[in-house]
Amino acid sequence: MFQNTLEYAKKQDAEDKLAQFRNKFNIPKNQNGQELIYLCGNSLGLQPKITSEYIQEELDAWAKLGVDGHTEGKHPWMPYHEFLTENMAKIVGAKPSEVVVMNSLTTNLHLMMVSFYRPTKTKFKIVVESDAFPSDKYAVESQLKFHNMDPKEGLILWKPRKGEELCRIEDLEEIMATQGEEIALLMIGSPNYYTGQAFPLKQITELGHKYSCMVGFDLAHGAGNIQPNLHDSGADFAVWCTYKYLNSGPGSLGSCFVHERHANNPNLNRFAGWWGHNKKTRFNMRYNFEPIEGAEGWQLSNPPILSMAAIRASLDTFADAGFENLRKKSEQLTGYLEFLLDEMKNDAINVITPRKPSERGCQLSIQLKNADKKLYDQLTKEGVISDWREPDVIRVAPTPLYNSFEDVYRFSEKLKSILAQDSI
């Protein structure tokens, strides 16, 4: 059904109801003022044009109101995080009470493990996928050490089989069948940052719960990309960032999901701070900590409003587009990219991301056999912003909010011509 021509790509863009959203973003340009082919939303999403207005609104409120901005103005700062909750909850398929925007991803992961990784002498192991993002590995290893466990003994890697790139669910089942009684936590990143493999969250959660393990997900590459349906998955917790597919700016705040069954459990340990305390009595400055019900009860500090303003701008853009529409377009865009790569009929190209749309988001991880970083450098020189992972993988992520079929076509043409050069 797809066609390998520029005319076809342009026709797809002309018929795309979401195409107008590209104009709502600042697309980086080269020195000649031409737009770059930006396929790096998996690393840093682009800036919506309304972001500066949303931030300016808060700068103005601060200038005009000073401290009174906490309670006055169009969007008072005291409840500011609440303005983000409903839209964020929709994006991850959660109830609003299960979601809160706060801190950054790794910090939230630690906070979640304080509550949901409660090892005993016999049940203490943690499972992560073998190619988990390094920060996740550092976090779980340091939690093991914090509880006086040896990571060599306590960390189980869910690995692809020899000669394969992707993790098989049967192998996780096998890990659980043999070591489930010793495992306290499954902590899986989905989609995996390197391969782009999206995992079946509900199936993994049910598997973990069958062995009385807690189950949490790192959705850094999931939020705003796939629909994780967190509430229905039954996961105990999840964490994600907002600077990738959620287009909220470098180092912007992360977000956190805590399933409602944990909303008001007094037996759960947590690291507490005043922003998690009952809103009605927070300013009475009483000493007994009384957590807000739900995910908000895990907040520590009063949050940075300027970063939250950027998140609000981005979430409003998502709400305008509709997540289901975006996902539909995303499958088409990535499907088109896959088609064009297949059309090259080049044995040096191996797409390691799953073929099934239900098992991936928008990213394709393209292994280029015998290539080195020169190829990526050449692509960059020719105006393609992608990302290189040693030893030989280029990750490209056409995102449905601001990428076009033409972007995908032009990328494939550039890759084809670079691969045809002898020097690469």
Closest CB to ligand PLP among 58 and 136? 136
Tokens of 206: 């049910």
CA–CA dist 94, 87 (Å, integer): 10
**Cβ 253 to ligand PLP, closest distance in Å?**
9
Which residues 6+ apart lie within 8 Å of 235 measured at CB?
201, 205, 215, 216, 217, 257, 259
Separation in Å, CA 265 to CA 172, 217, 295, 345, 354? 29, 20, 12, 56, 39
Is 115:298 a contact under the CB 8 Å cutoff?
Answer: yes
**Cβ 354 to ligand PLP, closest distance in Å?**
17
Choose among 122, 196, 237, 229: nearest CA to 387: 196
**Cβ 103 to ligand PLP, closest distance in Å?**
9
Is 239:103 a contact under the CB 8 Å cutoff?
Answer: no
CA 272 to chain centre: 25
Is 195:130 a contact under the CB 8 Å cutoff?
Answer: no
**Cβ 377 to ligand PLP, closest distance in Å?**
22
**Cβ 189 to ligand PLP, closest distance in Å?**
5
**Cβ 397 to ligand PLP, closest distance in Å?**
12
Closest CB to ligand PLP among 393 and 418? 393
Which residues 6+ apart lie within 8 Å of 38 measured at CB?
27, 28, 46, 385, 402, 403, 407
Closest CB to ligand PLP among 244 and 277? 244
Closest CB to ligand PLP among 220 and 310? 220
**Cβ 109 to ligand PLP, closest distance in Å?**
7
**Cβ 91 to ligand PLP, closest distance in Å?**
17
Closest CB to ligand PLP among 104 and 378? 104
- Parallel/antiparallel/unpaired status of strands 349-351 and 255-258: unpaired
CA–CA dist 419, 415 (Å, integer): 6
Is 134:161 a contact under the CB 8 Å cutoff?
Answer: no
Closest CB to ligand PLP among 77 and 240? 240
Closest CB to ligand PLP among 133 and 388? 133
Residues that bind ligand PLP (CB under 6 A): 104-106, 133, 135-136, 189, 193, 218, 220-221, 241, 254
Closest CB to ligand PLP among 18 and 246? 246
Cα-based angle 38, 40, 129 (whole degrees, multiple of 5): 160
